[in-house]
């Protein structure tokens, strides 16, 4: 499957699939689209699998979920929360494997993947890195102009990941536009949106 046309950068529209992986509990996902400073929610939810399933089966289901969302929505980027440094080794390894199948689904579709720490996401969405889940939910609702608070919290977290990437991409656009000569500014904006994946640069 081919990635979306670079022409989407020319209209300054950006579609992002955000993913909040979890070893215990549901895997949150959310798709947003931004145009300038305005963002809308296209889909959100959470995949909760029975605890008795093997971990290998969980990885398979996560990969199928992300691959299906990528095929349906054709995002310009996939954004995923990075592994917590405070987790114990066993949990951290499992979470890394979950992130791995998300990154694989993005790579198979030739879509760049980006990784953000929990503090980066909270600071980007709520203004400070120690925001609570309730504060994140309220800010996600406000930023996406939603009528209701997105539930469950896993889905709200995934939307926050997507918003974090959208804001980071918009910042890169402004920097590229400011730094580029006037005659090359459109191509500079396109380059900013098509920045190399940062998923392996935690």
Q: Active-site residues: which are they?
A: 20, 81, 154
First to last CA, the chain: 27
Distance CA 124, CA 135 (A): 12
Locate the DSSP E strands across the chain.
Answer: 13-20, 27-35, 38-47, 77-81, 113-116
* Max CA distance (Å), the chain: 59
* Phi-psi sector, 145: left (phi>0), alpha (psi -120 to 50), beta: left
Would you state the structure tokens that stand for residue 188, as one six-digit string?
Answer: 């500079």
SS3 180: coil
Would you state the structure tokens that stand for residue 126, as one six-digit string?
Answer: 């709520």
Rounded (10°) angle between helices 153-179 and 118-126:
80
Do residues 137 and 101 touch, judged by C-beta distance below 8 A?
no
For the beta carbon of residue 95, count every other beta carbon within 10 angstroms. Answer: 19
């Amino acid at each position: 499957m081919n990635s979306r046309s670079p022409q989407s950068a020319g209209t300054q529209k950006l579609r992002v699939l955000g993913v909040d992986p979890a070893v215990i509990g549901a895997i949150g996902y959310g798709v947003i689209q931004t145009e300038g400073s305005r963002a809308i929610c296209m889909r959100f939810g959470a995949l909760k699998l029975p605890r008795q399933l093997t971990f290998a089966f969980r990885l398979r289901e996560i990969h199928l979920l992300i691959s299906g969302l990528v095929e349906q929505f054709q995002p310009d980027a996939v954004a995923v929360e990075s592994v917590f440094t405070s987790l114990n080794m066993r949990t951290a390894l499992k979470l890394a494997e979950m992130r791995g199948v998300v990154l694989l689904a993005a790579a198979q579709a030739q879509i760049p993947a980006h990784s953000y720490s929990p503090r980066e996401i909270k600071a980007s969405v709520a203004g400070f890195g120690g925001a609570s889940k309730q504060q994140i939910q309220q800010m996600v609702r406000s930023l996406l102009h939603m009528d209701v608070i997105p539930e469950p919290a896993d889905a709200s977290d995934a939307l926050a990941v997507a918003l974090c990437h959208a804001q980071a991409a918009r910042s890169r656009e402004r920097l590229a536009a400011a730094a580029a000569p006037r005659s090359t500014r459109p191509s500079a904006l396109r380059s900013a949106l098509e920045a190399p994946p940062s998923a392996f640069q935690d």
